[in-house]
Amino acid sequence: MKTQSILLAALAAVPSVMAHTVWSVLYVDGESQGDGAGIRMRKDPAKASFPLVDYSSDDMACNVDGTKGVNFVNSVNDGSTLTFEMRSWPDDPSKESLDRGHYGPCAVYLKKVSSAIEDKGAGDGWFKLMDDGYHADTDKWCTDRLIDNNGRLSVELPKGLEGGYYLARPEVVALHNATNGQAQFYTGCAQIFLASSGSLVPESTVAIPGPDYVSAGQSSVQFNIYMGKNAEYQVPGPAVANFTHNANVASDAQTSQTEGLVPDSCIAQSANWCGKEVASYTDETGCWASGEDCWTQGKACWDQAPATGGSVCELWNDKCQDMNDQCKAKNFNGPPNKGKSLTPKRETIDIGLIIKPVGGGNVDDSTAPQSSAAASSSAAASPSTPAALKSTAPALASSAYEPKSSAIETPVPSSTLASFVETPSFSSTVSLLSFAGGVYNDASTSTTSSVVKPTVTSTVKVPASEYPAAPAPTQAAKEEVNEDGVVVVTKYEVKVVTETEYVTLTAGGYRHRRHRRH
């Protein structure tokens, strides 16, 4: 209990010395992974929020103590949205995330690694997913926007990125004291495993620390934000990465996560600690032995508790105390509430602000691998399909600051739309579907949503030579006199029957058809 008391005292002292911030929790597609879970941060709670000012230190990669990995690795899917939450009080999200006087840019980096736990972080391999600095139209820095968004910085992973283990690194740079050469960096690293069969890799990477990232004396870290020239500011580090396809990815791909998984036997998770149920017992000796095991695990929980606190450790202590009380009462059938989970339910949030990449994030499709089957299919296209068929659907316009609910799926990229379009049998123009909530619907389908959805329109033009032949002109009425002397008048009428086929496309590529004849 002495160790626990010392740690509680240290955690209590944190707010009195803290004026900065800590990257405290990762959300994947809006779902919390747990405070501190899978995140490398400074171990000393009293100094966890201190900034980094030595730009040549290995600490610049994943913070102080960040060269050593933690026990758990968070699982993410292809194209997932990662949200990093910073807190001025790492164990209390109700407090403001960052002091308003900390003006500056922000960024998110990734590094592909063979092991998210063993890799030290520092060194080459880092590429930038997004960055954001000052906006003259609103007189706001990225830090202002993050504070307004509950301290959360979100970025969408490029769809088709190579699967495997990564370190994900959010970064905020405070420039309020940069005129003295003391720009303050706040960073940390989330350990993730990306489940993806994609082949995209960055065209180039940089080393952190390193001169291609940042070094003392550069204007990005020695800038006076009080001179009225903030629009001239350049965010530190490399440009946002562009991507290319790596043909060798398939043979080297990490297809399944093997490290950093939370054990099924874990009934209590506190950041990167896991508590397991003690052995069952039916006598006094077994009761006290299981109680001792419980307290031993509880000590490890407190020893490993990061700056985000030990609320789960307190619940574990209550479990151990209950066992002691049962042993004293000579109730030797236990443990009480065997197997009951003490891990808090994962919180789900509305993601809010998502910062899109600017000046990067492009993919060189000329390097995309093409299977022989795909090439054969393309060559054997139906003769009725025009050789020059081209979708005229506009790209989905998006702001660099786009609110997004965690309940809304990522839209299907406009570049994939053409693969769903079939040449109509009797129409020169086809208006394609409205997009709502991740599903494409025809005009007869209504979707209710509180979020304004963009409309995607695609026009398929068929050459005149392939239009269906027009019906022959109607013959004039014909009069004849039959053998009985009766005049017979014959009229000819051509009736055209049009069949309209309504096709509903879903985000998963499935088609639903309805037919109407008229």
Q: What is the Rg, in whole angstroms, of the alpha carbon atoms belonging to the chain?
A: 31
pLDDT > 70? residue 485? no
Looking at residue 432, its amino acid is: L
Count the neighbouring beta carbons within 10 Å of the beta carbon of residue 139: 10
The DSSP-derived string for 308-350 is T--HHHHHHHHHHHHHHHHHHTT--SB-TTTT---SPPPPB--
pLDDT at 327: 97
Q: Can you give the length of the chain in residues?
A: 518
The pLDDT-based confidence of 491 (bands split at 50, 70, 90) is: low
Let me know: does 274 contact 317? Beta carbons within 8 Å: no
Q: Which residues pair with 40 in a beta bridge?
A: 189
pLDDT > 80? residue 97? yes
Q: Domain-by-domain residue ranges, the chain?
A: 16-252, 278-328, 407-517
Which residue is listed with tokens 């590094």? 111
Let me know: does 414 contact 394? Beta carbons within 8 Å: yes
- In the structure encoding, which two tokens stand for residue 315, read together? 């619940």
pLDDT digits 0-9 by tens, 321-362: 999 999 999 999 999 999 999 999 999 999 999 999 888 888
Distance between CA 57 and CA 122 in Å, rounded? 9
Distance between CA 414 and CA 394 in Å, rounded? 7
DSSP 3-state assignment of 399? coil
pLDDT > 50? residue 507? no
DSSP 3-state assignment of 123? strand
**Mean pLDDT along residues 232-243:** 97
Per-residue buried b or exposed e for 380-400, using 16+ beta carbons within 10 Å of the residue's own CB: eeeeeeeeeeebebeeeeeee
The pLDDT-based confidence of 5 (bands split at 50, 70, 90) is: very low
Domain 16-252 in CATH 3.40.50.740? The answer is no
Distance between CA 254 and CA 125 in Å, rounded? 17
pLDDT digits 0-9 by tens, 20-29: 899 999 999 9
The pLDDT-based confidence of 366 (bands split at 50, 70, 90) is: confident
Distance between CA 230 and CA 27 in Å, rounded? 31
**Mean pLDDT along residues 109-137:** 98
Per-residue HEC secondary structure of 453-504 comes to CCCCCCCCCCCHHHCCCCCCCCCCCEEEECCCCCEEEECCCCCCCCEEEEEE
pLDDT digits 0-9 by tens, 378-399: 444 434 433 333 333 333 333 4
